Structure 1
Amino acid sequence: MSNVELSDYDKDILDGYHGAASQIAMRILLRMAEVQGATSLIDITRAHIDGCIYTGKASLHFAETLVQEGGI
């Protein structure tokens, strides 16, 4: 269970109602928030999750998965 307070919209994203790519991104953001000790998130209108630094097959898989799941 996370200690990060989420809006209803954030919860919908985390539950997958806005597609798998958004859900994956929200899981990453939520985990990073937890690691940093954040207690809430702020609303934004655009973001870039960087997977373009090739450090092995995992980074390529990450980018390909987001694209396959509808991320643009």
Structure 2
Amino acid sequence: PIYSIAMTQDGRYAACGRSNRIFLYDLATREFVGEIADPAQKTGGAHRAMVQSLAFSPDGTRLASG
């Protein structure tokens, strides 16, 4: 299941937190952009625990997760 979601203010991108991974989608083209992962995590997860919150910066260039 998806535990968290955030959208850029312009509505172009959405990020979804599922388990310990973050998935990014381009809403304008309805395409999957990619998965955000920490290179230090060998399993590809972006977090060691569940992604419980996501927020884009006002200009949409940064994504914070917790």
Largest Rg, 1 or 2: 1
TM-score (norm 1): 0.29
TM-score (norm 2): 0.30
Structure holding more strand per residue: 2
